[in-house]
Chains A and B, each alone.
Chain A
Amino acid sequence: MSAAVDTNASYLTATRGWKSWAYTLDHKRIGMMYLFGILGALLLGGAFALLVRAELWSPGHTIAGKDAYNKFFTLHGAVMVFLVIIPGLPAALGNMILPIQLGAPDVAFPKLNLTSFYLWVVGALLLLVAVFTGGLDTGWTFYTPYSLQTQTAVIPAVLGAFVLGFSSIFTGLNFLVTIHKFRPKAMGWFQMPLNLWALYSTALMQVLATPVLGITLLLLFVERFMHIGIFDPNLGGDPVLFQHFFWFYSHPAVYIMIVPAMGVISEITTTFSRKPIFGYRFIAYSSIALALFSFLVWGHHMFVSGQSKLANMVFSALTFSVGIPSAIKVFNWVSTLYKGDIRLQTPMLYALSFLIMFTIGGLTGIFLAILSIDVQLHDTYFVVAHFHYVMMGSTLIAFIGALHYWWPKVTGKMYPERVARVAAIGVFIGFNLTFLPQFVMGSRGMPRRYWDYDPEFQIFHQLSTVGAFLLGLSLFGVVCYLMWSLKYGTKAPQNPWGGTTLEWDAPTPPTVFNFPEPPEIHELYNYDDLEELPEGGWVRKPSTGAKSSSGH
């Protein structure tokens, strides 16, 4: 390697050529490659979603037959869950921001980080192989025994998800070690930005839950390949055991999706309210609480799978308890807004959307945790609407918001603010138009995953389809103007929003090792430290001294 790399140059331009990206060990470049991959997968998953919605415009055959429809919703789910939402916040944005927020030069294991990225690529390619070799019609959950019988491409899809699981595990492991070992001495656990608490909790779940998915998918693979029989009732196996294993991972997976979203929402809310976050410790602890609770509630997916009554009651009660840390967070965010100097810039619009949609998604989750109600609502559109409010309305919205929040920092370019606000409003309206009617439909008995339906549901399906296309258009617009801004955007100031966390003290875009000199640790969320410049952006007031490096 040449020794001529200027470590004080922007990470984007310090080295050139495709090889300098393909072999890069720079966490920001790896995050950037993830980001582009994930945005591509988002478009693919979104296209499948629109195919689903288009087919449901009218009862019976609209644009595709039953089998094609089964593949559309399966591939939509698999692509969105495994390729977009799970890696979106931690692997793409977390990768770029986590070391900078710590004031560290990189993650603990840069080579492992690059390995994670290539595992993601391999997993994505395997899922693409599944798409092009007969598709997949099991639903993203791969439930046995159907997944053992279907003629569609289960084997590449399962292998893809298995590989993606290890990508996720290694990312989590990397982040855990980075936060433990690269935190500056002056930054105690409770001087960490809340985003890091969230990423820490997420990483914990990634490392503790994903291996169970790994072995489950491996057994499913061996089952199809060699008829080992552990999940096959014909051979004496237990198909419900698959559901237990699957949800032991996939419930925490929901928290792997939502907890980092909560982290970025904490950051955005306080920054754009110009007010210290309310209840810092409560938010920090509730992230850890969610990580722990997430391992104890998987049975709520199986209330109608023949689980014992006692187990149902225990899982129901534990599921209620998840509402506590979630509610703590919501109340703290709302209290942060209270009497804040709220700036309605694009990231804040997404954060406010998140607050509304997460509240709806969370509360309808409580409905579903009630045993008697779940028996009614299980496998209806009510469930579909609920988890889309959480996974899309909360996680993906937070991802898009975080993308706008950190885009100027990692690319050095500003996006067109006015267009972005219009798109944010389009996303909000489109999303709610898509999924509010689904609550109504579901509560009236429209089953999920059905290709055909009674004419009485048509109006709801049509509203939902219109909303989905508005949502798709808005998100496509977001991707377009972000790409546009890479070339034509105005130069971003070092601290465009007046954030107080360390990434705003790094150059824009950051240098190869993030900071030319080790950064000073300032008091977190102290907005009196900063003053707004007339030409845009914020700087630290010269009078405010740095906290001494000994901490307190």
Chain B
Amino acid sequence: MSQPHDDHHDDHGHQSRFIQHHYDDAQHQFDSGKLGIWFFLVQEILFFSALFVAYILYRHHHPEIYAYAHHYLDVKWGAINTAVLIVSSLSAAWAVRCAQLAQRRGLIACLVITIVCALGFLGIKTIEYSHKIHEHILWGKYFDPCVASAGNHLLNKGNNCPGVKTSVVWDGKAGKAKSGCLEGNYDQNPAEPGIQGKCEVIEVVGANRRPIEACEEVPGKSGGHGKPAKFPCYELALNPHVCPAGPAAMVLYGDHGHHGGAIEVRCDAVPAPAAPADAFADPAHVPTTGERTFAQHKAKSKHELAHEFASGPPPEHTNMFFSIYFAMTGLHGIHVLVGVFVFIWLLWRAIRGDFTPDYFGPVDYAALYWHLVDLIWIFLFPLLYLIH
């Protein structure tokens, strides 16, 4: 539309050509838009509210999964993103001021800063997301982590961790592999993994098939070959994904953390209790995996316990934490993305010179929207990243 003399097209006197004719004047249009955006923001809050309710509910029912899972989130990235958003909120507010005072260059600068910050936020979020995708720390059905929340490696049930070539669940009673597959045929049906005999020793075998590390998990002995086990064997045994049938043995091949394509083999065998020789004598007490675990936990400080808890496999339904994490941050991210497009549109209009002290409503409304998006993140950051 090119209507150069549109400024005085009606009896409203000299005013922006963006004042629509069903409004009395510029102020009327501005006030109406402002009330409208406020109602819209109320709507937005209610839109997010259901997710906050879900968060509260699941946290109330399963505090342990929140205590465990928040370690997965990187406070550093979360904090940087919080700062980035606060800066962008400031620049958005400043943009309104510039528009009001007809400072076109200031307005353009503020809008550019806001857009850059918003894109920065999304970039950091992408880094965080791609890390989680890489480690299978996903929502609901797809939560199948390759690492514990303290950072050490786990055997995941899908056998699809990057770098881990092979894993086997060894059935000690039956004397054969229950499920899993070996290097070379790990993507095939694991009917014949090629492991035989009872597995009592945990070995780590290098690329040249030479044992480089081992640990045994039999009473009275731990560690092996003078090297400490990378993580306690019982943790694997407790992992319901790995050992659903209880006392069994398992072997994990992989090259996690080893150079040169080394293969890691782990096994946690729980020996069957020995039959008492004398029927009248007290049977020798053989501690079960659970008891050993318990005893170790009892001896440790709260801090150590927390660390150990975070080093172990995730408690049941930890997937719900990530369902909520991805739902909330995903929906928030979509709002940020929408904000980017809105601010690019405003930038285009600002460059064109649409905004005047008489007409700057869109900048004001977009800034209000942006403050809300910022505010929601201010709630999400502590609720997801900083809880204990």
Contact = CB atoms under 8 A, between A and B. Distances in A.
B306 interface: no
B36 A207 contact: no
Contacts of B53: 245
B139 A173 contact: no
Nearest to B35: A177
Interface in A214-245: 214-216, 218-219, 222-223, 226-230, 232, 235-238, 241, 245
B42 A207 contact: yes
Interface of B is mostly: helix
A177 B36 CA distance: 6
A513 B22 contact: yes
Contact of B327 (A106, A109, A222): A222
A211 interface: yes
A281 interface: no
B44 interface: yes
Interface residues of B, number: 38
A215 B35 contact: no
B320 A229 contact: yes
B307 interface: no
A228 B140 contact: yes
B40 interface: yes
A215 B43 contact: no
Interface residues of A, number: 42
Interface string B155-181: 000000000000000000000000000
A211 B47 contact: yes
Most buried by B among A211, A229, A241: A229
Given A214-B47, A219-B327, A176 B39 contact: yes
B320 A177 contact: no
A207 B39 CA distance: 7
B141 A229 contact: yes
Contacts of A214: 47
B142 interface: yes
Interface string B36-54: 1001101110111111011
B380 to A, nearest CB: 15
Interface string A104-142: 111011101000000000000000000000000000000
B32 A235 contact: no
Interface of A is mostly: helix
Contacts of B141: 226-229, 235
Contacts of A212: 46-47, 49-50
A208 B46 contact: yes
Contact of B39 (A177, A215, A226): A177
B103 interface: no
A181 interface: yes
B36 A227 contact: no
A291 to B, nearest CB: 14
B323 interface: yes
B323 A237 contact: yes
A343 interface: no
A236 B317 contact: yes
A455 B58 CA distance: 47
A229 B319 contact: yes
B48 A232 contact: no
B326 interface: yes
B8 interface: no
Contacts of B142: 226-227
A441 interface: no
Contacts of B43: 169, 173, 207-208, 210-211
Given A207-B39, A229-B139, A229-B319, A110 B46 contact: no
Interface in B118-167: 139-142
B140 A226 contact: yes
B28 interface: yes
Contact of B51 (A209, A215, A223): A215
A352 B101 CA distance: 59
Interface string B178-191: 00000000000000
A228 B28 contact: no
Contacts of B36: 108-109, 112, 173-174, 177
Interface string A483-522: 0000000000000000000000000000001000000000
A208 B21 CA distance: 30
A209 B326 CA distance: 24
Nearest to A219: B327
B57 interface: yes
Given A214-B47, A215-B51, A513-B22, A227 B327 contact: no
Interface of A: 104-106, 108-110, 112, 169, 173-174, 176-177, 180-182, 207-212, 214-216, 218-219, 222-223, 226-230, 232, 235-238, 241, 245, 248, 513
